[in-house]
Amino acid sequence: MQFDIIQPDDWHLHVRSGEALKSVIVMSAKQMGRAIIMPNTDPPVINAVSAKAYREEILGALPNNSRFEPLMVLYLTNNTTPEVITQAHNVGVIAAKLYPVGVTTNSDSGVTNINNIYPALETMQQLGVVLSVHGEIMRPEVDIFDREAVFIDEVLTQIANNFPELKIVFEHISTKNAVDFVSISNDNIAATITPQHLLNNRNDMLSGGIKPHTYCLPVLKRVKHQSALIKAAVSGNPKFFLGTDSAPHAKTDKESSCGCAGVFSAPHAIELYAQAFDQAGAIDKLEGFASKFGADFYNLPYNKKIITLKKQDWSVPKIYPFSSGEIVPFMAGKTLNWKMF
Ligand code: NCD
Ligand code: ZN
């Protein structure tokens, strides 16, 4: 069996910079038409100048014949003023990302109090710049498995109420709480869902030995939440769309006494989603989720290119070269049932 879909886009992707960027960008460019490039590089992308420079670095790392389009995002800090937003918008930045301080990889310059960026949010609402949110509360007393739910109650509800016209993407949702919040919100609020949150739950990460290559943030939750995410993804509701959150870290940084958060899924992202949709008996719902709903939300046209997905078993490579070392992809060594052509 095989079928064609419009080429997908990745609405949440980390590609790093320098040698690491060169190792991974081609993989996304083979699969995706466009990708929202996350700004948590070191140093982060905090203004128009750095967004432009980062875009050029990405384009420079692509093969000459590539038509892959990186879509740039600003990293919100306590010092992001309305002027910074306007300048970024003028150079084509389409979204700005809220990382609560300390919440994940390279988020030390993140926002300490949401009130600090209210003027910036006001400008984003006016200009139509999308707010992209890492939705977790970072307070030591909040259990890591509850951080998303508490964020909804303490922060996201407040932003949504105060900025009803602001377009918000609740990134890499991991709980039923998030599915419910997005489902009942107005049409300006959407969410991305990763392949690992569809295919795995916390047992896959922690039962029978710890699997560092499934560790990401937000951390995988119990099966009840995984089921709610699958249901949302295959529902055909355009508020839920593809965002891999592919987040490359070297093998040695993951297999460590203090391992980094991030799952690397770029080389076979669409195959992973096809697996999840097929397992849910809803392969016919893949194209909307992967290739249409995100573009609709960001007011962009669909890709012209068509890809073919074929039902065919193949093994995910155990390892890829990465910068000066190696990287282990999600589901390394496992058999997937769909292959992209
Ligand atoms: C991401 C990374 O490594 O940049 N890690 C992750 O676990 N998802 C950052 C992020 O999106 O939280
Ligand atoms: Zn991410």
pLDDT in tens, 175-192: 999 999 999 999 999 999
SS3 content of the chain, % helix, strand, coil (to 5): 40, 20, 40
pLDDT in tens, 241-257: 999 999 999 999 999 99
In whole angstroms, give the CA distance from residue 199 to residue 220: 10
What confidence category does residue 104 fall into, taking pLDDT thresholds of 50, 70 and 90? confident
Task: State yes or no: pLDDT of 10 exceeds 90.
Answer: yes
- Residue with the smallest CA separation from ligand 1 atom 9 is 105
In whole angstroms, give the CA distance from residue 173 to residue 148: 8
Q: Which of 13, 14, 41 to mutate to test the pocket of ligand 1 (most atoms within 8 A of CB)?
A: 14
pLDDT > 70: what percent of the chain?
A: 100
Is residue 117 within 8 A of residue 111, CB to CB? The reply is yes
Count of CB atoms situated within 10 Å of the CB of 52: 16
Closest atom of ligand 1 relative to the 216 alpha carbon = 7
The domain in which residue 295 lies consists of 2-340
Question: Over the chain, what is the mean pLDDT?
Answer: 97
Task: State yes or no: pLDDT of 103 exceeds 90.
Answer: no
Total count of domains within the chain: 1
Res 193: pLDDT: 99
Task: State yes or no: pLDDT of 309 exceeds 90.
Answer: yes
Task: State yes or no: pLDDT of 105 exceeds 90.
Answer: no
Average pLDDT of the residues in 169-174: 98
From residue 247, alpha-carbon distances to 24, 128, 235 in Å are 10, 27, 26
Task: State yes or no: pLDDT of 201 exceeds 90.
Answer: yes
| Through-space distance between the first and last CA atoms of the chain, rounded to whole angstroms | 13
Task: State yes or no: pLDDT of 282 exceeds 90.
Answer: yes
Q: Which of 15, 17, 103, 104 to mutate to test the pocket of ligand 1 (most atoms within 8 A of CB)?
A: 104
Domain at 248, CATH number: 3.20.20.140
Task: State yes or no: pLDDT of 64 exceeds 90.
Answer: yes
Closest atom of ligand 1 relative to the 12 alpha carbon = 11
Average pLDDT of the residues in 212-224: 98
What confidence category does residue 108 fall into, taking pLDDT thresholds of 50, 70 and 90? confident
pLDDT top residue among 157 and 103: 157
Reference 41, options 9, 75, 68; nearest CA is: 75
Q: How far is the CA of 6 from the centre of ligand 2 (A)?
A: 24
Closest atom of ligand 1 relative to the 249 alpha carbon = 3
